[in-house]
Copies of this chain bind each other. A is one copy, B any other.
């Protein structure tokens, strides 16, 4: 069934990705695009500095941008996709949630009581918090959030292992693409012949969101998974595609084959339900000694699969290392929200 959707922050980088991706999915129909006052009233094409490599979709090109105000969007909207500046996200998403289901990329609401933080293959059961959220707030709609880009890629690879084995500790060092910071986020002076070993707030987000995603819903709260997880985050000269170097120490005595098999065979609810935006294989295992690489592997599964390679023993007891690559603005942002919406549409509407 086709769902009507609205995109908030429609002229920003993630907003553009929403529009690009939604136009390729037949089960969503963009009926409104909203942006700041400066853009409201203008044709989308006139207001946006389009940074995608495919053209602005025909159906959006001439659409008038509306204000970021629930009263200005169509009543028959099913989902509101939001990628708003941090300071706006909290009040604006709440205002829209009175009436609509808001699929949000903002970090501010990610770990609040009653608000599900979801990766469809990882913790679809967290969506049950939506009802409580509606009831408590007296809303017709609700807010559903997706994690930070680097967390999504990591957690997709941890989930099948976590279900089968016991983690003693996990360490991850990221080499993240510049697109994650928005078009103007990283100056070229900082990234040509250079890298930046710091991304504000990123390590904290990875460390908390991952444990939250692997936790269990307990009323409107989540009992987090209980293992130490350390993240070190770096920005490198890559346009799209986060690379992460991961090490896991297990309780159990397992093998490289066990890990590769577990990751390769992993399928979640989106795969079972055949959601059109879900990749056939959430995690692809590569055997070449020098893969995955961001430019080569970020588009795997149309940007919705995470590629894993170099699975090998680490020097610590029962420890293994691997490298992963995930597309940060597809699987890690806009695509994550879209898949959340598809799952909600399938299960709850």
A residues apposed to B, CB below 8 Å? 51, 53-54, 169, 171, 173, 175, 178-179, 183-198, 200, 207, 228-230, 232, 234, 236-239, 243, 245, 247, 289-297, 299, 309-310, 314-316, 319, 321, 323
Q: Return the 8 tightest CB-CB contacts between A and B, nearest first.
A: A173-B173, A193-B193, A194-B295, A198-B290, A237-B237, A188-B191, A197-B323, A178-B188
Distance (whole angstroms) from the CB of A229 to the closest CB of chain B: 7
Closest CB-CB distance, A119 to chain B, in whole Å?
22
> Please, how many angstroms separate the alpha-carbon atoms of A91 and B298 in the complex?
41
| Residues of chain B with a CB closer than 8 A to A295's CB | 53, 193-194, 239
Is the beta-carbon distance between B230 and A189 smaller than 8 angstroms? no
Q: With A187-B183, A188-B190, A295-B53 as known contacts, state yes or no: A195 contacts B314, CB within 8 Å.
A: no
Q: Are B314 and A230 in contact (CB under 8 A)?
A: yes
Q: Which residue of B lies closest to A231 (CB)?
A: B315
CB pair B238 A194 closer than 8 Å: yes
Give Cα distance in the complex from A237 to B293, angstroms: 13
- Is there contact, CB below 8 Å, between B173 and A245? yes
Instruction: From B197, B289, B293, B296, give the contact of A245 (CB < 8 A).
Output: B197
Q: Could you tell me if A195 and B239 are in contact, using CB atoms closer than 8 angstroms?
A: no
Residues of B within 8 A of A296 (CB): 51, 53, 194
Q: What are 20 A-to-B residue pairs whose CB atoms are below 8 Å?
A: A53-B299, A173-B173, A173-B245, A175-B195, A175-B234, A187-B187, A192-B193, A193-B193, A193-B237, A193-B239, A195-B236, A195-B293, A197-B292, A200-B289, A228-B316, A230-B247, A230-B314, A232-B247, A234-B323, A239-B295
Q: Can you add 9 more A-B contacts, CB < 8 Å, to A193-B294, A197-B243, A234-B323?
A: A53-B296, A183-B190, A185-B189, A188-B190, A188-B192, A190-B293, A192-B193, A197-B245, A234-B245
Residues of chain B contacted by A196 (CB below 8 angstroms): 290, 293
**Nearest-CB residue, chain B, relative to A173:** B173
Give bound CA distance, A236 to B299, whole Å: 20
Q: A191-B188, A236-B236 are in contact. Are A310 and B230 (CB under 8 A)?
A: no
Whether the Cβ atoms of A185 and B183 lie closer than 8 Å is no
Q: Do residues A228 and B198 form an inter-chain contact, with CB atoms below 8 A? A: no
**A134 smallest CB distance to B (angstroms):** 35
Q: Please determine whether B192 and A232 come into contact, CB atoms closer than 8 angstroms.
A: no
